[in-house]
Amino acid sequence: MAPRASALSCCCCCFFFILTSVASAQLSSTFYRFSCPSALPTIWTEVIRALATDSRIGASLLRLHFHDCFVQGCDGSVLLDDTPTFTGEKSAIPNRGSLRGFDVVDRIKAQLEIVCPQTVSCADILAVVARDSVVALGGPAWTVLLGRRDSTTASLSTANSDLPSPFSNLNDLISAFAKKGLSTSDMVALSGAHTIGDARCTNFRTRIYNETNIDSSFATALQANCPFSGGDNNLAPLDTSTPTIFDNFYYNNLVNKEGLLHSDQQLFNGGSTDSQVSSYTTNSAQFFRDFTTAIVKMGNISPLTGSSGEIRTNCRKIN
């Protein structure tokens, strides 16, 4: 082969390798079509079974996906248990005593390891259970992109620093989401996840006793179950109107000064996000569209793909 032709051939091969490498790093809606066609039906069945016995679990599973993606990207790191030589993220301040749903993920993973051993990642399970929970509770469907692999590391410090606090002000929220490549509009839409689920008294006590941008009757009613001292783990719904239905009522609550958390009410408090909140109160279809767009975007934060990471056989520990 002539030198020029040989060089051209090498360039073509290198270019093809680059293209295939880039392609392999992309998430795909059909990632398990051939390697594990029963993956999505298996996950859906288990989510429905879990919701039948625990109406709160859908919100918990959705929250797991969020807390995973905001720390090291969507890599399943939030699921790792502490060991004598390894500290995970479960004991971080935003996670300790509040994250739930690990047992549901365990059951799903155990079933998938029977039908498709070492094929479906824990990170992908979190992305799918988030979607399935929203759909099962009356919310919108979206196409979940798949192909994430699982991290062999976790970061307690990043979980403590990067997960938004229930005491955050608007600028703090905007900055926390921007750090992950999410816009202010994405942040407002994703906050609508608080249309389901509960919060602990310790996270809203200061608001109901000390803040002024809160409906007085709403605050008084909450004080009955969240005393000035004690009862830290007593629960209240984030959306008192329809706490187990994924709808736009969360935003109506904000307009009525009935946001449970300080960070919730910051979205409608005379600031730059007021108009978006107002628009969602009368246009649930727009909220659904924006939410699905934002959560797909969130699910694409720094995923491990290709040969990075691993496929854990047990979501609680590395292989």
Active site residue 65: no
d(CA 13, CA 22): 14
Residue of 67, 131, 262, 312 marked catalytic:
67
- Residue 68 labeled ligand binder: yes
Q: Is 111 exposed, middle or buried (0-12, 13-18, 19+ CB in 10 A)?
A: middle
What is the dihedral angle through the alpha carbons of 310, 311, 316, 319, rounded to the nearest 10 degrees?
-60
291 near 191, Cβ under 8 Å? no
- Residue 73 labeled ligand binder: yes
- Residue 194 labeled ligand binder: yes
- Residue 242 labeled ligand binder: yes
- Residue 89 labeled ligand binder: yes
Q: Which residues contact 70 (CB under 8 A, 6 or more apart)?
A: 162, 163, 164, 176, 180, 301
- Residue 239 labeled ligand binder: yes
- Residue 232 labeled ligand binder: no
3-state class of 146 per DSSP? strand
Identity of the residue numbered 208: I
Q: Token pair for residue 293?
A: 């767009």
- Residue 195 labeled ligand binder: yes
C-alpha count within 13 angstroms, C-beta hemisphere, residue 223? 14
Identity of the residue numbered 228: F
d(CA 97, CA 112): 28
Binding residues for heme b: 194
Active-site annotation, residues: 67
Binding residues for Ca(2+): 68, 71, 73, 75, 77, 89, 195, 239, 242, 247
Binding residues for substrate: 164
Binding residues: 68, 71, 73, 75, 77, 89, 164, 194-195, 239, 242, 247
